[in-house]
Amino acid sequence: MTASRVRFTGLAALLLAGTAACGAAPTTATPSGGAAGGGSPAGTDARTATSAADFGGLDKLVEAAKKEGKLHVIALPPDWANYGKIIEAFTAKYGIEIESETPDASSADEINAVKTRKGQDRAPDVLDLGQSFAISGAAEGLFAPYKVQTWDKISANQKEPSGLWFNDYGGYVSIGCDAKKITKCPETFADLLKPEYKGKVALNGNPTKSGSAFAGVYAAALANGGSFDDIQPGLDFFKKLKESGNFNPVETTPATIEKGETQISIDWDYNNAAYAPKMAAKGIDWKTVVPTDGKYFQLYAQAINKDAPHPAAARLWQEFLYSTEGQNLYLGGFARPVLLPAMQADGTVDKAAEANLPPVEGDPAFPTEAQVNKAKEVLATGWGAAVAG
């Protein structure tokens, strides 16, 4: 635990990098609530406000958001980075209803919903995105710039300068394991190839669509002679895993773990760690380890839909997520919030939650945007063949 905390202090200078579905689109055609389109208490159009100051301060933003009364989100699983409690806390604090739709969606689905639901009341107001999707969405002009009140505490290399997106929380690729069904849980990618894990090793999604699964392949590459410039060894690893009979094509969810369908899972450490207490109540001993031979850290990012149907509530949601309360709620879900170094420095961090983070040795490194884009291209053309048959 100590190693984890100490190392994360150094992340402020290092963190750089940073995926969830959508159902049928409904109908309403105009932004709802009085704040949209010039109805904010300060006479500011909430759709173009770039800070709480534009509303006349946070209290006026709260007033405008309450007037809208609703926030529509997708791709926020309640058991992912503590989003269940975050949504409950936001609603309890502000009395704003959150419509949380299709939580098990992907970043690609979120972007698609922004494009296809423009002008509809159930377009997503805010997005929680793998960073590569945040970058591409910003380039397509899909997001509204906004700077939260804690903007200056977010390192420059963790945000788009005008506020089109900014990183929120992250984690390491880890290996989760049902210790009651697996005699000796694997601790490295090399372990995963052992015969005793036949049919056991699953991923949380399809790496061509899922940020967590993409990270799993990237980590496997790093463990097998690859680099941020070369993800092919990761594909080769999963091909070997498939040929050995160890690869399990079932995509991990809490339900698959509970049913014993995914007894070993490569996933973010905050997901695997969060499963443990829930599974313990069901008689499952779920263990989490960050593999030493394939260490990969990544952050997710927040963005506001440029055409958000509830623009003031969208901005208030961002203010909440980047407040000490919101950041500590991420930490309570075993995710490492982007403001953790700042909160460690000013003494506002939830120390009990911090102590529960899975231990990690050493400092993380991060791929560049170009390296991630190249890796995505290689995966798009090679993943199907690697695990086919």
- Tell me, yes or no, whether 279 and 325 share the same domain: no
- Tell me, yes or no, whether 251 and 146 share the same domain: no
- Tell me, yes or no, whether 266 and 323 share the same domain: no
Q: Which of 229, 197, 230, 231 is nearest to 213 (CA)?
A: 231
- Tell me, yes or no, whether 195 and 252 share the same domain: yes
Which structure tokens are listed for 97? 């209803």
- Tell me, yes or no, whether 133 and 192 share the same domain: no
- Tell me, yes or no, whether 282 and 153 share the same domain: no
At 162 the pLDDT is 97
- 65 lies in some domain: yes
Helix (H) or strand (E) holding 177: strand 166-178
- 14 lies in some domain: no
At 389 the pLDDT is 67
- Tell me, yes or no, whether 197 and 286 share the same domain: yes
- Tell me, yes or no, whether 201 and 349 share the same domain: no
In the chain, the amino acid numbered 10 is G
- Tell me, yes or no, whether 218 and 252 share the same domain: yes
Q: Which of 128, 156, 130 is nearest to 14 (CA)?
A: 156
Which structure tokens are listed for 225? 């002679």
Buried b / exposed e over 175-209, threshold 16 CB at 10 Å, is: bbbbeeebeebbbebebbbeeebeebbbbbbbbbb
Helix (H) or strand (E) holding 267: strand 264-268
CA distances 313 to 126, 235, 348, Å, are 9, 42, 25
Q: What is the DSSP string of 59-71?
A: HHHHHHHHHH-EE
At 13 the pLDDT is 32
- 84 lies in some domain: yes
- 114 lies in some domain: yes
- 23 lies in some domain: no
- 81 lies in some domain: yes
At 257 the pLDDT is 96
CA distances 94 to 48, 160, 313, 327, Å, are 22, 28, 10, 17
User: CB neighbours (10 Å) of residue 119?
Assistant: 12
- Tell me, yes or no, whether 158 and 176 share the same domain: no
- 186 lies in some domain: yes
- Tell me, yes or no, whether 267 and 306 share the same domain: no
At 24 the pLDDT is 26
- Tell me, yes or no, whether 61 and 182 share the same domain: no
- The parent domain of residue 268 ranges over 171-297+369-387
Q: Which of 132, 86, 87 is nearest to 107 (CA)?
A: 132
Q: What is the CATH number of the domain that holds 267?
A: 3.40.190.10
Helix (H) or strand (E) holding 86: helix 83-94
At 8 the pLDDT is 30
Rounded mean pLDDT for each run of 10 residues along the chain, 389 residues in total: 28 34 28 44 84 97 97 94 97 97 88 96 94 88 98 93 96 97 97 98 89 92 97 97 97 94 96 93 96 92 98 98 98 96 96 92 81 91 89
- 271 lies in some domain: yes
Q: What domain count does the chain have?
A: 2
